[in-house]
Amino acid sequence: MGWQREQDKRLREFIKIIYHHHPYYHALMKKKGLKPEDFKKTSDLIKLPITYKKDVLKDPKKFVLQPKKDELKKTLGFKQKIKGLVNPGAIREQLSMEYQPTTFFSTSGRTGVPTPVFLTNYDLDKLKEYGVSDFINFAFRNAGIKKRVAQNTFPFAPHLAFWFSYIVARHLPKTFFYSFGTGRTELQADMIEKFKINILTGMPFYLKHLSEVAKDKEIKSRVKLVLLGGEGVPEGMKERIKNNLKSIGPEPVVKMTYASSEMKSVLMECAPSSGYHTHPELHYWEVVDKESLEPIGCDRPGVLVFSHLDSRGTVLLRYYTGDYVHKGITNKTCPHCGSKKPRITSDIERLVDMDKGLTSKKIKGNLVSLKTIDEVLSKFKKLKQYRVVITKKDPKDKLSMDELIIEAGIDKRVKNIKRVIQGIKNKFKAYTDITPIVKKVPSKEIYKKVMNTMKGVRVIDKRPT
């Protein structure tokens, strides 16, 4: 735990800023009779309850650092105070750049309610600084690419993935980079050949589609590296992307990223399944038990919870990600790249109800993860597209039975549709103990619905809370 002392020190400094300038945590700490001195170590953060997305949604502005003039004096460093005496104008400008939000990102989430996360120039600088070094040290590592030509297919939206790629790419050496969003897929496939693209970035759902179109068009691919983000990726989907591209060019390396708007940061793999290299300077990670929510030590399975240690704009402490990590966080030196930063192991499942806290995370009494749903359904080669809707028998009645509907976009060439539908039902039941309702829906229609959410949301929870 080489980072512990450094993180403790950062927390001691940051908690003062939070106490004086953060409306939500100030009120919470007052209510609990806590002062900045009560947080000497990161382990003291347990004195605060877990923060859920629903808490932020109630009043997102309350989670933004908003220093008032009088309060500001209490958190200025010695050098800043001196500078303020000599040149008050300059310090005012500097503080305004540091604290004034300049943009926001939002997560559409599975329930479709976006949570805005505000960033200041301070945050954008961090995003750039860590992003540039992570791309070079981790993402591009061993990809065998000298001159990088990247096609970015993350959607044009206030999402972290798109802006992160754009902001960082401007500062990467020997890199030609352009963004196409999602859509105009035929043209995008042609561009892969024409521009001799060797790096593709995007959401797994879209890149699967694009790689299929490219394969059908028989373009010549030179893609050596695929960087996926924005959603959890089932192994089956990763394989399909890899195989589609391999059939028209070299076999690409597929690496994953782990990020959320709330984190204001992107964590990367340096090799497939190496684990995500964290930024211990920016976040303190905990693994908590999924039922009791007690911290259970890093290297055990549980739900990921993080606290910002160096951030402006929206600041979160003990934020519940809803992401379940099977092997926890490892502090061992990375066997691939030698990095000593802790790594969140690559096997992450997103619990379906992350947006709703813990009130209704079960479907028919079973805990179902997005990953299981994806793993099961992506195995059906005859299933071109799918979408899962979790609802109630009577959608207005909270207490009526849960229902799980699979919209199945079955390959047009399939003659015995009934058999495919029965196969899906059986397999799904075998893995999850839930018998789904399977409806045949045209693939194109499902694709449109899924991409409409801008995030490739394949599972929608429509149950009333």
**Scanning residues 338 to 397, which ones bind Zn ion (CB under 5 A)?**
339
Query: What whole-number distance in Å separates Cα of residue 175 and Cα of residue 148?
Result: 5
Stretch touching Zn ion by CB under 5 A, among 44-52, 279-287, 326-334, 347-355: 326-334
Residue 226 Cβ vs Zn ion, minimum distance, rounded to whole Å:
18
Of 254 and 270, nearer to Zn ion (C-beta) is 270
* CB 337, min distance to Zn ion, A: 3
Please choose, out of 21-29, 247-255, 286-294, 335-343, the segment that lies near Zn ion by the rule CB under 5 A.
Answer: 335-343
Nearer to Zn ion, 91 or 334 (CB): 334
Q: Which of 254, 255, 196 is nearest to 222 (CA)?
A: 196
**Minimum distance from CB of 277 to Zn ion (Å)?**
6
Return all residues near 160 (Cβ < 8 A) that are at least 6 apart: 105, 259, 260, 261, 263, 264, 266
Smaller CB separation from Zn ion, 287 or 334: 334
Strand 175-179 and strand 148-152: the pairing is: parallel
CB-nearer residue toward Zn ion: 308 or 336: 336
Residue recorded with tokens 């947006």: 355
Of the pair 315, 334, the CB lying nearest Zn ion is at: 334
Q: Give the amino acid at 430.
A: A
Amino acid 206 reads Y
Q: Cα separation of 190 and 236, whole Å?
A: 25
Closer to Zn ion by CB, 298 or 337: give it: 337
Give which of 121, 72, 129, 119 is closest to 98, Cα–Cα: 121
Give residue 320's identity as a one-letter amino acid code. Y
Distance of CA 180 to the CA centre of its chain: 21
Mark the segment that binds Zn ion (CB under 5 A) among 26-34, 49-57, 157-165, 329-337. Answer: 329-337
Site for Zn ion in 438-457 (CB under 5 A): none
With residue 1 as reference, give the H or E element that holds it.
Answer: none
Nearest approach in angstroms of CB 274 to Zn ion is 5
Contact between 308 and Zn ion by CB under 5 A: the answer reads: no
* Choice between 215 and 255, CB closer to Zn ion: 255
Q: Which two tokens stand for residue 450?
A: 């899924």
Binding segment toward Zn ion, per CB under 5 A, in 39-47, 242-250, 337-345, 389-397:
337-345
Shortest Cβ distance from residue 175 to Zn ion (Å)?
A: 21
Q: How far is the CB of 134 from Zn ion (least distance, A)?
A: 10
Binder to Zn ion among 334, 354, 410, 420 (CB under 5 A)? 334
Does 336 contact Zn ion by CB under 5 A? yes
Stretch that binds Zn ion, among 143-151, 161-169, 305-313, 331-339 (CB under 5 A): 331-339
- CA 132 vs. chain centroid, Å, equals 18
Count CB atoms within 10 A of the CB of residue 71: 14
Q: If binding is defined by CB under 5 A, does position 139 make contact with Zn ion?
A: no
x/- track of binding to Zn ion for residues 251-280 (CB under 5 A): -------------------x---x------
Nearest-approach distance from CB 141 to Zn ion, in angstroms: 8
Q: What angle do CA 193, 195, 201 make, to 5 degrees?
A: 85
CB of 223 to Zn ion, least distance (A): 22
Say if residues 424 and 380 touch (Cβ distance below 8 Å): yes
Using the rule CB under 5 A, is 337 a contact of Zn ion? yes
Give 198 or 278: the residue with its C-beta nearer to Zn ion.
Answer: 278
Three-state SS at 18: helix
Question: Residue 43 or residue 330: which is nearer to Zn ion going by CB?
Answer: 330
Total residues in contact with Zn ion, by rule CB under 5 A: 6
Neighbours of 105 (CB within 10 A): 25
Nearer to Zn ion, 89 or 338 (CB): 338
Classify 4 in phi/psi space as left (phi over 0), alpha (psi -120 to 50) or beta: alpha
Identify which of 207, 203, 204, 161 has the alpha carbon closest to the alpha carbon of residue 188: 207
Closest CA to 203 of 170, 244, 171, 159: 159
Half-sphere exposure at residue 248, Cβ-oriented, CA atoms within 13 angstroms:
25
CB of 155 to Zn ion, least distance (A): 28
d(CA 59, CA 459): 26
Binding site for Zn ion (CB under 5 A): 270, 274, 334, 336-337, 339
